[in-house]
Amino acid sequence: MEAIVFRQNGQVGVEHIADPRPGPGEVLVRVRASGICHTDLEILRGNYGASAFPLVPGHEYSGEVIETGPGVTGFAVGDRVVVDPNIGCGTCPGCRAGRVNLCTDLGAYGVTLNGGFAEACVVRAGALVPMPAISHHMAALAEPMGCVLNGLSPLEGRGIDHALIFGAGPMGLLMGIALGIRGAGRVTMVDLNEDRLVMAESFGLGGVISGSGALAGLRQSCDLVVDATGIPAVAGGLVDYTANGGSVLYFGVCPQSARIEISPFELFRRQLSLFGTHSLSHRDIPEALKVIAAFGPGIEALVTHRLSMAEIAAIMAGGAPKNSMKVHMTV
């Protein structure tokens, strides 16, 4: 079969590899849609943890069951599924607490095992989640939406009148969509790119330009302030926009060496809560599919490019198309 293969640092191409076959407890999935994540590019550059070459990348994907291995129950040929990529050790404190994303030996399809940028992929049956009646491109947004829901999980039960999200890229917009579905009174996106803010408005979200007077007027007024940029200078200023008693969520991935300065006295005096988030847990993909289905087909506007396998490999080697949001491979 054909697959995108990371052969070594910086080397990516479409190759013909052996057809995978499912073993006991495994399922063979024909990939229908697979999304590029920044993590894929970090893996290609050799900057991502335990990943090893050669590797078929891709951890945001949906497809159809085409073969089941011995002992598999609950799935049959033709079932439409999404893959939950994270693979925990099952024994560490994070796994025992049901938080596989905090596993001390975390693996994942597309990171440590071959993933979804291929015609087909073998996965454990336990990693499959049945799709509702939505398109494959909508379903392939379940993994990033699951990351959003994991980030919001510490805030469950807290009423949010106004959420402010810095960064109207795909992850920031998915965060805004989820907050809207979950009942936030008002969600405002912050970005320099006016086209992204237009898209935000089409999703029912507000928008302000970074550095504008309108943004300055929101200081100390928002119940929840989120960084979805991964820019340390932005992350360092979130507290300035947080209302007394409010919460700050560090959702964007800043460089590991980055440092920000926050006043402990201000956290104390204004009773602010700070949260970090990483990846997603096993409960998040099913919930993500519910949020995506509830929002409806309009969410597919986030998928601005649907490309062939060869085109995806070229993007990984040379950079994303101009003005792209989510970029998906269509098989």
**Dist CA 33 CA 309 (whole Å):** 11
- SS3 assignment for 39-108: HHHHHHCCCCCCCCCCECCCCCEEEEEEEECCCCCCCCCCCEEEECCEECCCCCHHHHCCCHHHCCCCEE
Kindly report, residue by residue over 111-137, the tens digit of the pLDDT.
999 999 999 999 999 999 999 999 999
Question: Which of these CATH numbers, 3.30.420.10, 3.90.180.10, 3.30.43.10, 3.30.465.10, describes 2-134+296-330?
Answer: 3.90.180.10
Kindly report, residue by residue over 212-264, the tens digit of the pLDDT.
999 999 999 999 999 999 999 999 999 999 999 999 999 999 999 999 999 99
Instruction: For residue 49, give the nearest of 115, 98, 104 by alpha carbon.
Output: 104
Sign of CA dihedral 79, 81, 85, 87: negative
Regions of the chain where pLDDT drops below 70? 50
CA atoms within 13 A of residue 255's CA, in its CB half-sphere: 7
Write out the residue limits of the CATH 3.90.180.10 domain(s) in the chain: 2-134+296-330
- Are 155 and 161 contacting, i.e. CB atoms less than 8 angstroms apart? no
The predicted pLDDT at position 98 comes to 95
- Are 170 and 230 contacting, i.e. CB atoms less than 8 angstroms apart? no
5-35 exposure pattern, b = at least 16 Cβ within 10 A, e = fewer: bbeeeeebebeeeeebebeeebbbbebbbbb
What is the per-residue DSSP string for 130-189? E--SS-HHHHTTHHHHHHHHHHHGGGTT---SEEEEE--SHHHHHHHHHHHHTT-SEEEE
Instruction: For residue 29, give the nearest of 137, 127, 101, 133 by alpha carbon.
Output: 127
**Dist CA 271 CA 89 (whole Å):** 37
3-state DSSP assignment of residue 243: strand
- Are 221 and 165 contacting, i.e. CB atoms less than 8 angstroms apart? no
The predicted pLDDT at position 50 comes to 66
First CA to last CA distance, the chain: 12
Residue 65: left if φ>0, alpha if ψ -120 to 50, beta else—which one? Answer: beta
Class of domain 154-276: alpha beta
What is the per-residue DSSP string for 199-225? HHHHTT-EEEETT-HHHHTTTT-EEEE
The predicted pLDDT at position 322 comes to 87
CA max distance for the chain: 63
**Dist CA 219 CA 211 (whole Å):** 12
Instruction: For residue 226, give the nearest of 151, 281, 279 by alpha carbon.
Output: 151
| Whole-prediction pTM | 0.97
Distances (CA, A) of 167 to 48, 58, 157, 191, 241: 23, 23, 25, 5, 15
